[in-house]
Structure 1
């Protein structure tokens, strides 16, 4: 009975696969931290411009990157089913989709960078933030190519290359930031704009590293040519089942990737934009409230990397077994992932409560901000418990290609419950004797995510009751 709920062998597999994912995701957070810290050393205005434009960049860019997350479970399904040759075709169609989305989002960023007055930015701040966005947009195609190839490799359970490349990108980001921010090697000092230039170059460096890795790795030699059919369709290998060549551009497959990935992308956008809007709504309450909320949010984002790595690993492992038609084993793997997620979040919640003062001291030494943050961290710790259930459940649902329900639940929980309830608790006395400030939003986050976790759990129960035939039909749609 124990092994039908939790598999120790699968837990060990999760650690070996998930640890590189954790490091890779943390390195991406590290690049944002480096940008903020190094621009802050240049000037406070430049740091503020990077922070504000970053809050615009994140939710919009996730609409594009989130669509590509469908490639990971789709690739895992093909590997599990023994159809490795089709993974190369999937990779190429992901690149076509990336090109289309890049052009679309780059045009949007270009437009927004010229009209930042819509976000209340004026003067020097608007000039710096706009320049940062215009510099960053040129790195978007590189980052999306990186995500494409990373998803392709994840389908083969290869997570270490993305970890190594992510660390290399983080290491490169520091000296390149230094050159462009402060104007070294004969270049002008660009400040916040230099952060955007440096990060764009690092994105392309990461993409090229992944490109050359899959080109040279002998494991994928049988799948070659991986990229040449983008331009030369006659070089494509035949389909193993009917002998017909892969098309250069497969519109039906591109639309399928978009159909599976877009709901998940919307969910990511809803989540990130909720925190962005929350910070804006708390701004009138003063810098102490905003600072305390920012510390709790930043530390929460760091801890979130742990359940996120479990989410990605769950998508890979469950996707493999579903592709192979081993539905019962996929369910055991999913339950194991949920158990690991709850166990890890419980440990992190306990550590957060034990070392609250030390955590706050890392960020600030202001007594008033520290006192406020001390009251927020217990709520943040409880939030992590329900967030782990929600995050891992989303990874399992992605493995089933059941993504439409994700966007619907996120919309209702974040924007239907979290935002209005958070505003009511933090800024009004309709439900409480007095406005709760930042605590009001964290209480709302907790309730909203609790609702989401419950909905995802119920959805997983429905999927677990489906027969093998129904499940296989679902993942092949």
Structure 2
């Protein structure tokens, strides 16, 4: 990151930060995409099992990663405020925190996972796939969360191409391991959907090791001595990161867990409906990576300018990011509509699944508009370290408005499972409206401050 003086310079720098983040996010999500697609080639039960497993895993993954995301505005503001000497200690404490949280989740999961899945009363073969898929993923949690913590440090320095490089290595590794463990090749037993979890856990480990090697050997990371001169874990440092990270994590958890809740409600329908729902959600989420990447880039850019007390520059970055997100949302909606049949056939050869997937994708178009507008706003607010009100907005829009609306529409109209998607659209729309109001308020507050 560096100071810019014109809108043209800001747009250029923003795109230089954004594009590697976007490629990184797409690469990360493509791992899940290939898990689902490749599992679906085994059987509908394997696809449904991975769908159920993902519905449990993704809220945990994104919620904890939200806590890790606190490092981005912290480091960005330290960098903007010329306090580089404080950065290494913050990163080291973040690593301790990532490991601690991973262990806690693993222990909790060991006690509640099996009973929780049993409560869903799903087909035993689907439950078996979901359970062991999650068990396999659990063994990759520590390297995964450490990688995400380190990635936040790398990106906050503006070195987003490095994260992109790591993921571009990890993605083909994940596909290769899927090829081995899902289908049983090169003497490896065929594990079906369970093999996708094994492949992902191994990939997480490889990704963390590659990232640690880069930070130890390459400029400018080497100068920070992240893996030397270790300090003891500090509860005070944990508290500082958690103060920002927990609201971010819980906000993301509220958003992703409502999608997981919808998947669990839809598990009451037949296997074809579950598979089609997951296929449509998986495909639509690929497009969500763009507003998510814009949000992450905004957090870095806005945080850097706020740290340097250049509040007008922070406002301009916010405007650039939000406009870009909304424009993309319109284009994504058109693309999904035009190619919905071709997309459906990527996931299954079952005519029933293909037909249902196309219907779900029509509803997914409206996700794009709300996400393209609301998600970048969240990123801008994180740059200001404004996270608590966003948490409240997420809870009300998704769990007070969105999910209850979906339940009512699904059970008291003829839309059936599509009613839950209508509830999601209503919740996302309500959240986007509330978020823009909050950002406008923040911009007024900071505009009154002396730059």
Q: TM-score, normalised on structure 1?
A: 0.86
Is residue 459 of structure 1 aligned with residue 438 of structure 2?
A: yes
Contact residue 61 and residue 105 of structure 1 kept, 8 A = no
C-alpha separation between the residues in 2 aligned to 1:444 and 1:111? 32
Is residue 271 of structure 1 aligned with residue 255 of structure 2?
A: yes
Residues 142-174 of structure 1: CA deviation (Å, up to 9, x unaligned): 011111111001111111111111121111112
2:407 to 423, 445, 450: 423
Provide closer, same or farther for how the CA distance between residues 344 and 471 of structure 1 changes in structure 2, counting only shifts above 3 A: farther
C-alpha separation between the residues in 2 aligned to 1:124 and 1:353? 34
1:386 to 360, 367, 370: 370
Residues 357-405 of structure 1: CA deviation (Å, up to 9, x unaligned): 4444544576666665555544432331121111001101111111111
Contact residue 137 and residue 201 of structure 2 kept, 8 A = yes
Unmatched runs of 5 consecutive residues or more in structure 2: 1-5
**Counterpart position of 2:265:** 281
Deviation at 1:293, TM superposition (A): 3.7
Deviation at 1:280, TM superposition (A): 3.0
C-alpha separation between the residues in 1 aligned to 2:258 and 2:92? 34
C-alpha separation between the residues in 2 aligned to 1:18 and 1:249? 33
**Counterpart position of 2:179:** 178
C-alpha separation between the residues in 2 aligned to 1:421 and 1:222? 53
Residues 73-92 of structure 1: CA deviation (Å, up to 9, x unaligned): 11111111111222211110
**Counterpart position of 2:3:** none
**Counterpart position of 2:13:** 13
**Counterpart position of 1:348:** 332
Of the structure 1 ranges 189-198 and 208-217, higher mean CA displacement relative to structure 2 is found in 189-198
**Counterpart position of 1:82:** 82
Contact residue 109 and residue 133 of structure 1 kept, 8 A = no
Deviation at 1:303, TM superposition (A): 0.9
The 5 A counterparts of 1:194-213 are: 194-213=195-214
Of the structure 1 ranges 170-179 and 208-217, higher mean CA displacement relative to structure 2 is found in 170-179
**Counterpart position of 2:50:** 50
The 5 A counterparts of 1:247-396 are: 248-286=232-270, 289-290=273-274, 292-363=276-347, 376-396=360-380
Unmatched runs of 5 consecutive residues or more in structure 1: 1-5, 234-247, 429-433, 473-477
Greater Rg over alpha carbons, structure? 1
Contact residue 386 and residue 453 of structure 1 kept, 8 A = yes
Of the structure 1 ranges 359-368 and 407-416, higher mean CA displacement relative to structure 2 is found in 359-368
C-alpha separation between the residues in 2 aligned to 1:317 and 1:66? 18
C-alpha separation between the residues in 2 aligned to 1:315 and 1:162? 16
**Counterpart position of 1:111:** 111
Residues 21-62 of structure 1: CA deviation (Å, up to 9, x unaligned): 111111112111222333344455444333322221111233
Contact residue 18 and residue 313 of structure 1 kept, 8 A = yes
The 5 A counterparts of 1:212-231 are: 212-224=213-225, 226-230=226-230
Deviation at 1:189, TM superposition (A): 4.2
C-alpha separation between the residues in 2 aligned to 1:386 and 1:292? 22
Of the structure 1 ranges 168-177 and 199-208, higher mean CA displacement relative to structure 2 is found in 168-177
Q: TM-score, normalised on structure 2?
A: 0.90
**Counterpart position of 1:147:** 148
Residues 276-316 of structure 1: CA deviation (Å, up to 9, x unaligned): 22233234455565455444322321110111110111111
The 5 A counterparts of 1:110-129 are: 110-115=110-115, 116-121=117-122, 123-129=124-130
Contact residue 182 and residue 192 of structure 2 kept, 8 A = yes
Q: CA RMSD in A?
A: 2.6
Contact residue 97 and residue 238 of structure 2 kept, 8 A = yes
C-alpha separation between the residues in 1 aligned to 2:238 and 2:399? 30
Deviation at 1:318, TM superposition (A): 0.5
Deviation at 1:119, TM superposition (A): 3.1
Contact residue 63 and residue 268 of structure 1 kept, 8 A = yes
Deviation at 1:267, TM superposition (A): 1.7
C-alpha separation between the residues in 2 aligned to 1:253 and 1:229? 17
Provide closer, same or farther for how the CA distance between residues 354 and 56 of structure 1 changes in structure 2, counting only shifts above 3 A: closer
C-alpha separation between the residues in 2 aligned to 1:418 and 1:49? 25
**Counterpart position of 2:422:** 443
Contact residue 37 and residue 346 of structure 2 kept, 8 A = no
**Counterpart position of 1:27:** 27
C-alpha separation between the residues in 2 aligned to 1:68 and 1:271? 17
C-alpha separation between the residues in 1 aligned to 2:29 and 2:236? 35
C-alpha separation between the residues in 2 aligned to 1:107 and 1:81? 40
Provide closer, same or farther for how the CA distance between residues 254 and 39 of structure 1 changes in structure 2, counting only shifts above 3 A: same
Residues 319-373 of structure 1: CA deviation (Å, up to 9, x unaligned): 1101111111101111111111111112222333344444445445766666655
Deviation at 1:228, TM superposition (A): 2.1
C-alpha separation between the residues in 2 aligned to 1:66 and 1:465? 27
Provide closer, same or farther for how the CA distance between residues 211 and 458 of structure 1 changes in structure 2, counting only shifts above 3 A: same
Report the count of equivalent residues.
445
